[in-house]
Chain A
């Protein structure tokens, strides 16, 4: 079937069409009467005029031009694109959750507060931390909240001169960006030839300006930081705090807890580890946990229990304050908690184990055709260094684009930057053995094509709704909104 390319909404618009009739108040009055003339809108209101059918077909057509986890394999490294159970959506949609106004009095939201309070306890148990806030909207927002807390703690200790945050060269870009946004200076720590951080690498920074370190464990190479206890002890001994980036927590749930590794702060990515959908880029949720010594700095309000039940409390004078409007991404928290209760402790542990098994299975079978810079068992993901012996000019980008022709979302590419031509592969536990074998077969086929049919790769993808898009043109001459006659 030939696909009709959807035009843009304002191109489809025809005067007089309606897609929705809002409730009509049974009161007199015209627009002219209700807004004083000096304040009234004179700029034309350029919104599409479409019938409901057209709107439905339009967004159905757009959905066909998009690939989600439900449409195919998504081994996107560091993103944990696991299956998003349908059931979670049902629960988040219960009227008792969906229609709650955030400012209703506490008496009428006791169930929501109980749920959030319980979620905090469960997150604490999973991570080995003492107290949690559900406010942060995403992983990077959790990082920022944690870094604010580190600032507050250091300031209260009278150690304002501690302003250096260490991040490994394999860290997610959000780590240094969050640290800078919180007012810290960032220093990059090189990882060792084995792909992990050696305690000796920290030595140059263990001085009076050390504020702390941010670490992902397992790191973005998919390797567990085996010297973790020495690293966290070293930072603590020199007056710093240690932050755990929870992006890769799916690898170790039930096997190891950040709190037991010596971390002071931990954020969770509920949209990764706990199966809430990524939503095409968000919303996620990034609850933040801390050890008891930092609990007084957590954002307000916090949920407390009183004789009357659950209650919001602002009575935490050392708190950094609020980091987000209202209380957090409530519906995302509902979904994550439902996922956790469904699997239970053993199930979460099994999920981590399956994710690690799957990653090792792929790594083992792909290393003949692709460079494997760190040849040792991995955790939930691994990084390949591009295809071996390709024809001239064939790059990792071409391999990624070619995967699209097989209905597979490509791995994360060119990250971490320490591996040239990186392909970062994370299958997650949401796989069957047939699927893993199919992926291996496809990757091997592409490796052959990279040697023998380079053009086929360089011009890939061939079967997608659009062919390779011109990113340079987009950046050089930015067209960021629709204009008439453009």
Chain B
């Protein structure tokens, strides 16, 4: 068979067989029991590039991407402006076709980029160290909780109200077979009150998402101190790290772990993946970190070099005693984040965050003037907020969709008590005109 992805020609295959003193290539598979081999035929035709493109274009055209709407949908995946330079720089094949940088001499590019990633994540979160990435935010949180349970030798974890439901669900799966109890704290006006409802000397860790799933910003203040008095760890979960441009770094408050979802740093929405888990910690926890870590060193001539380090934590060395089973991570996504942050710089990231927040303030105030729209939670929010609509939410969002709006995330499925609620996200991409039009349409539908 001749195919562009199969360089060997028929003649070359024959020559190899000759060299191996074999009559047929099938002889190489003679060790496989015949009853297995006879079932393996796969009935699937091959296609030219053009034909495959046609098939996939047809699938793609059956979707209506968020980019074709005026979108107010966030709820864990956040659209932000992605500089045009990210794509071409990320698309250099020496990056994306390379393997994990186990051979540092020919992997300095990727190693240095990951070192930059660790530097920037540690700086943004105010933590001492960061790893090279994990699969996504939810799995990073699960790893953080497992670390906390191993470190404290305890098996109870408390979740402040407002944790992203995706993260909560993944956490339940990761912990259910290990005898770890995950308890959700009930919503209270004050975070301290929430904490008081569950914290005790069996608690391994407490998890606070900030801003939380509903967009609410919390004052972390002395919460970690209270948790530390019980010798438990304080974990902050961040779903859009663009927020760190304006909000105080969690490390300042003495939290133990700051983990989260880095998709907002230059990655497309891509129907939910691949995204980017980040994981940052206090120095003391360094040797318990999951996944790869890049360190600075020198080469034989004394030149600054980078290399994967502290590998004794990892599965390929430590096997069943490793800190995690992770091998492949999200290196290319981490590279995208570094390119994004390098382009945005401090001013760009602040403007991005401020733009999104300013938009959310505007939309909120405009919506509050619509009869039939009410606030759902009265706390300061970041670039996302919940409102309650007096009316048939599914019918209303459907009508708005017809008008070209993705009207946020319906909250009824998230918490029964939020029935009638929707969660609205405003990125810096939204304009006043779009938001005015949205309010007008909604008002019309509620009249």
| A14 CB → nearest B CB, Å | 10
The reply on A241 being an interface residue by CB < 8 A is: no
Q: A60-B92, A177-B318, A351-B5 are in contact. Are A278 and B100 (CB under 8 A)?
A: yes
* Residue B297 interfacial (CB < 8 Å): yes
Which parts of B338-355 form the interface with A (CB within 8 Å)? 338-339, 341-352, 354-355
Contacting residues, chain A, for B248 (C-beta < 8 A): 39-43
CB neighbours (8 Å) of B29 from chain A are 224, 252, 255-256, 356
Partner of A94, one of B35, B60, B347, B430: B60
Residue of B nearest to A186 (CB): B320
CB distance B347 to A430 under 8 Å?
A: no
| Residues of B close to A38: CB separation below 8 A | 219, 221
Digitize A47-91: 1 where CB-to-B-CB distance is under 8 Å, 0 elsewhere: 111101001101111111111111100101001011111010111
Q: Chain B nearest CB: distance from A6 CB in Å? A: 7
Which residue of A20, A81, A122, A342 is within 8 Å of B49 (Cβ)?
A342
Is B321 in contact with A180, judged by CB distance below 8 angstroms?
yes
Check A280/B431 contact, CB under 8 A, given A101-B66, A327-B273, A474-B309: no
A456 contacts the other chain (CB 8 A): no
Q: Which of B126-134, B192-200, B225-233, B385-393 contacts A (4 or more CB under 8 A)?
A: B126-134
Residues of the A chain whose Cβ atoms lie less than 8 Å from the Cβ of B93: 68-71, 84
Stretch at the interface among A288-296, A328-336, A442-450: A328-336
Shortest A340–chain B CB gap in Å is 7
Say whether B99 contacts A81, CB under 8 Å. Answer: yes
Contacts of A237 in B (CB 8 A): none
Q: Does A281 contact B (CB under 8 A)?
A: yes
CB within 8 Å: A-B pair count: 713
Q: Which of B36, B63, B137, B315 has the most CB of A within 10 A?
A: B63
The answer, yes or no, to whether B395 is at the interface (CB within 8 Å) is: no
A148 at the interface (CB under 8 A from B): yes
Kindly state whether residue A133 has any CB partner on chain B within 8 Å: no
Identify the closest chain B residue to A380 (Cβ): B28
Q: Contact at B346–A49, with CB atoms within 8 Å? A: yes
In the bound complex, do residue A404 and residue B348 qualify as a contact, i.e. CB atoms below 8 Å apart?
no
For residue A66, which residues in chain B have a CB less than 8 angstroms away from its CB?
Answer: 94-95, 98, 101, 106-110
> Is the pair B355, A25 in contact by a Cβ cutoff of 8 Å?
yes
Provided the pairs A110-B63, A342-B5 are in contact, do residues A98 and B270 lie with their beta carbons within 8 angstroms?
Answer: yes
Give the shortest distance, in Å, between A77 (CB) and chain B (any CB). 11
* Chain B residues with a Cβ closer than 8 Å to the other chain, count: 205
Interface segment out of the listed B114-122, B183-191, B437-445: B114-122
Which residue from chain A places its CB closest to the CB of B355 in the assembled complex?
A25
**Interface 1/0 per residue, B57-72 and A, CB below 8 Å:** 1111111111110010
Do A174 and B52 form a contact, CB below 8 Å, given A40-B246, A471-B297?
no
In the bound complex, CA of A321 to CA of B243 (Å): 30
Residue of A nearest to B244 (CB): A41
Answer whether A255 and B77 are a contact pair too, CB < 8 Å, given A34-B354, A79-B99, A98-B65. no
Known: A68-B94, A111-B63, A481-B118. A433 touches B104 (CB 8 A): no
Q: Could you say which residues of chain A place their CB within 8 Å of the CB of B77?
A: 101-103, 326
Cα distance, A232 to B67, chains bound together (Å)? 50
Query: Does the CB pair A475–B310 fall under 8 Å?
Result: yes
* Contact call B56/A338, Cβ cutoff below 8 A: yes
Asked whether any CB of chain A lies closer than 8 Å to the CB of B380, the reply is: yes
Identify which of residues 319-374 in chain B touch chain A, using a CB-to-CB cut-off of 8 Å: 319-322, 324-333, 335, 338-339, 341-352, 354-355, 357-359, 361-362
Selected from B35, B217, B339, the residue in CB contact (under 8 A) with A59 is: B339
CB distance from A120 to the nearest CB of B (A): 14
User: By the criterion CB–CB under 8 Å, are B273 and A328 in contact?
Assistant: yes
Contact partners of A104 in chain B: CB under 8 A: 64, 66, 73, 406
Check A173–B322 contact: CB distance below 8 A: yes
Per-position binary interface string of chain B over residues 381-415, scored 1 when its CB falls under 8 Å from any chain A CB and 0 otherwise: 00000000000000000000100001001000000
- Please state if B357 and A35 are interface contacts (CB–CB under 8 Å): yes
B8 in complex: contacting residue of A22, A52, A357, CB < 8 Å: A357
Q: Does A201 contact B (CB under 8 A)?
A: no
Smallest Cβ distance from A306 to chain B, in angstroms? 16
A391 contacts B by Cβ under 8 Å = no
Does the CB pair B60–A323 fall under 8 Å? no
Contact A100 B270 (CB under 8 A): yes
A114 to B55, CA, bound (A): 12
Please provide the chain B residues from 238 to 283 with a CB less than 8 Å away from any CB of chain A in the complex.
Answer: 244-249, 251-252, 261, 268-275
Give B296's nearest chain A residue, CB to CB. Answer: A479
Q: Which one of A138-146, A202-210, A381-389 contacts B?
A: A138-146
Does B81 belong to the interface (CB within 8 Å)?
Answer: yes
Q: Which of A8, A62, A174 has the most CB of B within 10 A?
A: A62
Nearest CB of A to B153, in Å: 16
Q: Are A49 and B347 in contact (CB under 8 A)?
A: yes
Which of B92, B176, B178, B271 contacts A97 (CB under 8 A)? Answer: B271
In the complex, which residues of chain B have a beta carbon less than 8 angstroms from the beta carbon of A320?
A: 173, 176
Give the CA-CA distance A464 to B359 in the complex, in Å.
50
**Chain A neighbourhood of B428, CB < 8 A:** 22-23, 25
Residue contact A22 to B96, C-beta cutoff 8 Å? no
Tell whether, in the assembled complex, residue A433 and residue B15 are in contact, meaning their CB atoms are under 8 Å apart.
Answer: yes
B residues near A101, Cβ cutoff 8 Å: 65-66, 71, 73, 77, 79, 269, 271, 406
Q: A140–B134 Cα gap in the complex (Å)?
A: 12
23 intermolecular pairs with C-beta atoms under 8 Å apart:
A26-B431, A27-B362, A27-B432, A31-B350, A41-B245, A45-B244, A50-B342, A65-B108, A66-B95, A66-B107, A87-B49, A97-B65, A173-B314, A256-B36, A278-B97, A279-B95, A283-B329, A327-B273, A341-B46, A430-B7, A465-B105, A479-B295, A481-B119
Beyond contacts A283-B332, A350-B3, A481-B119: 16 other A-B pairs, Cβ-Cβ < 8 A, are: A6-B112, A87-B52, A97-B60, A98-B269, A103-B409, A141-B139, A226-B32, A255-B29, A277-B332, A281-B332, A322-B166, A325-B166, A345-B46, A356-B25, A357-B20, A467-B105
